[in-house]
């Protein structure tokens, strides 16, 4: 079967030529960042059969983001049909990323939201976003607000996966300037948050910890929650709690976790070596399905 490197599908049109434009110059997702998205892992076997990992969990998170933005979501059934059409056109073995995008639509001639998706193989995506390496270095960068900045402030869109990722991308560039691979965002009152494109997982004193959502404004990580559920099934205590930045340097393990690359162990933070437990790292990767 011929390998297809890139598939694009648009709601109301189905699968389209990946080089065909799918948004207009006045689309509010483009001009205002007024939209949301979600990403999920795609696995394809040697026979060319593709499936999406935790699709309904990602669609649920996308729907919550749409509600927060007051954008009409097409609904689970419409997304499932569009994903099925895209998967039917996809046959490249290995791992890929499904990206679902929903914007408010056109500004000048409103015709409802714009909804489309893409599937792209990991090998064709930017190094560091997904795929290898399994270990990275990172730096801490401030988010410029305290850990409870999003309390009673829904207009700040805490926990919403908007298409406006320019700060996240800028943070990754700053990490590169400092000779590191990625970033852990921090609060002005001294706690760790998450990464620009990933959730945070910390092993400390025989338990797995991750940053709570809500007041912190961070996005709930589908993959982190899957790891925590698997860890609990194996008898590990898990908690959602604020972790002081200083505790990261003495933790038993620190990971940045995303759907595409899974749990990636941080070996150095701010040029300081962190604990590396190969057995624990393998166990965490297994809990995530990697």
Domains along the chain with CATH numbers:
6-123 (3.30.470.10), 135-287 (3.20.10.10)
Cα angle: 131, vertex 274, 142; to 5 degrees:
80
Question: Cα 9 to chain center, whole Å?
Answer: 20
Q: What is the model's pLDDT at position 47?
A: 83
Whether the per-residue pLDDT at 265 is higher than 70: the answer is: yes
If pLDDT is split at 50, 70 and 90, which confidence band does 123 have?
low
Q: What is the pLDDT of residues 197-207, one digit of tens each?
A: 999 999 999 99
Whether the per-residue pLDDT at 107 is higher than 90: the answer is: yes
Whether the per-residue pLDDT at 241 is higher than 90: the answer is: yes
The Cα-based distances of 121 to 7, 184, 281 in angstroms read 10, 26, 25
Q: What is the model's pLDDT at position 70?
A: 97
If pLDDT is split at 50, 70 and 90, which confidence band does 127 have?
very low
If pLDDT is split at 50, 70 and 90, which confidence band does 182 have?
very high
Question: Average pLDDT, stretch 278-283?
Answer: 95
Whole-angstrom Cα distance, residue 259 to residue 89?
22
Q: What is the mean pLDDT of the chain?
A: 93
Cis amide bond preceding 9, omega within 30: no
Whether the per-residue pLDDT at 130 is higher than 70: the answer is: no
Q: What is the model's pLDDT at position 1?
A: 53
Whole-angstrom Cα distance, residue 89 to residue 15?
8
Sorted by sequence, the CB contacts under 8 Å of residue 150 that are 6+ apart come out as 156, 158, 159, 214, 215, 216, 217
Whether the per-residue pLDDT at 249 is higher than 60: the answer is: yes
Among residues 95, 99, 98, 87, the alpha carbon closest in space to that of 131 is found at: 95
- Are the C-beta atoms of 201 and 210 separated by less than 8 Å? yes
Question: Average pLDDT, stretch 129-146?
Answer: 82
If pLDDT is split at 50, 70 and 90, which confidence band does 94 have?
confident
pTM of the model: 0.91
Q: What is the pLDDT of residues 5-56, one digit of tens each?
A: 799 999 999 999 999 999 999 999 999 999 999 999 999 888 888 999 999 9
Whether the per-residue pLDDT at 98 is higher than 60: the answer is: yes
Pairing of strands 182-186, 114-121: unpaired
Among residues 248, 138, 110, the alpha carbon closest in space to that of 192 is found at: 248
Collapsing DSSP states into helix, strand and coil, what is residue 53? coil
């Amino acid at each position: 079967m011929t390998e297809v490197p890139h598939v694009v599908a648009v709601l109301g049109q189905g699968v389209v030529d990946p080089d065909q434009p799918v948004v207009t110059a006045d689309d509010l997702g483009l001009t205002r960042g007024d939209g949301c998205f979600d990403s999920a892992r795609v696995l394809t076997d040697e026979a060319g059969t593709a499936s999406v990992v935790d699709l309904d969990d990602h669609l649920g998170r996308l729907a919550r983001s749409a509600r927060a933005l007051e954008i009409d979501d097409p609904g689970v059934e419409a997304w499932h049909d569009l994903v099925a059409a895209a998967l039917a056109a996809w046959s490249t073995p290995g791992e890929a990323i499904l990206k679902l995008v929903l914007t408010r639509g056109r500004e000048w001639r409103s015709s409802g939201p714009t909804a489309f998706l893409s599937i792209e193989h990991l090998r064709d995506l930017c190094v560091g976003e997904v795929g290898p390496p399994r270990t990275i270095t990172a730096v801490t960068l401030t988010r410029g607000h305290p850990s409870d900045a999003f309390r009673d402030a829904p207009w700040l869109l805490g926990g919403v996966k908007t298409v406006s990722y320019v700060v996240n991308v800028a943070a990754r560039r700053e990490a590169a300037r400092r000779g590191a691979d990625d970033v852990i965002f921090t609060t002005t009152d001294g706690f760790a948050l998450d990464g620009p494109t990933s959730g945070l997982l910390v092993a400390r004193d025989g338990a797995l910890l991750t940053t709570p959502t809500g007041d912190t404004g961070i996005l709930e990580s589908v993959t982190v929650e899957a790891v925590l559920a698997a860890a609990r099934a194996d008898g590990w205590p898990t908690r959602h709690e604020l972790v002081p930045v200083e505790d990261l340097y003495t933790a038993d393990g620190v990971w940045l976790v995303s759907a595409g690359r899974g749990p990636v162990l941080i070996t150095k933070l701010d040029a300081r070596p962190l604990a590396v437990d190969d057995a624990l790292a393998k166990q965490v990767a297994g809990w995530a399905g990697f």
